[in-house]
Structure 1
């Protein structure tokens, strides 16, 4: 319980402190020459936040695969095990990126401002118009040079195995004409979800950045087929 309370304190305290610097960071990023450089600058604070959370929780992250900060925008597609997926991925991935996140996150104090500065997008799953707007916003963000990450399972698996993928989010990559980078993450559910989020234990998490799937895949495959290709690659990586 002590570790859980300590980590929650780090999350709230550091988020509150970092929020005071938002306006200054927003102003300074505009002085940088490229979108990628601007996003990388903004992500530095998020990475510090994520690193402190992982340190307080005793989480070690092992990263494999091509983790270069390539300026070409991509859509990251990751499985979703547990609550720690977000700080782990922010910490692990060198490219700056925003999340496609459920609308409920918008209500969390301090977090909404950061989500917006990271070029994240909200989705209200109960509203079909929101889904259409999410795709439109996602395409615009990718075309502007930002990276995005989605969890196509739609919810945490909590260590119960890879769930079905919803292919709708793939419309973002198809319409924007960007590559897809599958990500396999494992071990986060062992930190909290195994104990119904009432406890927190140290853990070892693996993040595998898999071979990119070129945008041309949509010329030969439907959205559902591409979703299955991505899911199979992630499933294979989780089994290895």
Structure 2
């Protein structure tokens, strides 16, 4: 495993070299430690681009795995700006295209960049929960993804990832202490979903909550039950 000292050294090298070096290093670790199983790739064949991918979030390795699996989509990831403050995660971000967003705020600048990217035909991947789950189960989603879809009319494809919480587990000591472990990681790609329409008697915030929940339930359907958390439907229940 690359040491924190080496991460800091690489981080002070020229930007172009850092991007090149980080791709080589982190791609090596993904190849060495991750046994990746992909399901549902055929669901993307007939979907018109651009696509707004929405996915649950378990680990700092999620973007690395998804970037590899969905390489052909040339994804732009939406990531919290705090990741740039840690040398290891900053290294990871240097090998993926990202739009930084300030968590738990109405970051108009970031939202504007995401909307412009989608309208320019670029594919975006968002983690609607806004942060990694420390229990490996789904948490309540933020509503920002609904606004972005509404303003761009982008197709929405749910993606589920699991096993990544074992590939690069969260460390209570901080992100710099996280290290890779051998793990089987599954990526399950769902079908393009049809966004529910707003009811006449429905308030804006009620509608946005309903749609964000709808998206998350579509992700939950692609996950084993133990990962579904607050979006764990009982057998036979239906959400619309």
Residue of structure 2 equivalent to 1:236: 221
Of 194, 204, 211, 1:226 maps to 211
2:191 corresponds to 1:211: yes
Residue of structure 2 equivalent to 1:72: 49
2:156 corresponds to 1:190: no
Q: Give the Å deviation of 1:52.
A: 1.9
Residue of structure 1 equivalent to 2:35: 60
Task: Report the Cα distance in structure 2 between the residues aligned to 1:127 and 1:166, rounded to whole angstroms.
Answer: 10
Q: Structure 1 stretches of 5 or more lacking a match?
A: 26-44
Provide closer, same or farther for how the CA distance between residues 228 and 186 of structure 1 changes in structure 2, counting only shifts above 3 A.
same
Task: Report the Cα distance in structure 2 between the residues aligned to 1:15 and 1:66, rounded to whole angstroms.
Answer: 38
| Offset from partner CA, 1:153-206 (integer Å, 9 cap, x none) | 111113431111112122111101111111100001112327755553200000
Q: Is the 8 A contact 1:188 1:203 kept in 2?
A: yes
Residue of structure 2 equivalent to 1:166: 142
Q: Is the 8 A contact 1:81 1:188 kept in 2?
A: yes
Q: Is the 8 A contact 1:123 1:134 kept in 2?
A: yes
2:120 corresponds to 1:144: yes
Provide closer, same or farther for how the CA distance between residues 7 and 232 of structure 1 changes in structure 2, counting only shifts above 3 A.
farther
2:81 corresponds to 1:81: no
Give secondary structure in 2 for the equivalent of 1:20.
Answer: helix
Q: Is the 8 A contact 1:105 1:111 kept in 2?
A: no
| Length-normalised TM-score, structure 2 | 0.71
Q: Is the 8 A contact 1:80 1:151 kept in 2?
A: yes
Provide closer, same or farther for how the CA distance between residues 74 and 12 of structure 1 changes in structure 2, counting only shifts above 3 A.
farther
| Length-normalised TM-score, structure 1 | 0.71
More helix, by proportion: 1
Provide closer, same or farther for how the CA distance between residues 14 and 209 of structure 1 changes in structure 2, counting only shifts above 3 A.
farther
Root mean square deviation, CA, Å: 3.6
Q: Give the Å deviation of 1:20.
A: 3.4
What is the aligned residue count?
Answer: 208
Provide closer, same or farther for how the CA distance between residues 49 and 227 of structure 1 changes in structure 2, counting only shifts above 3 A.
farther
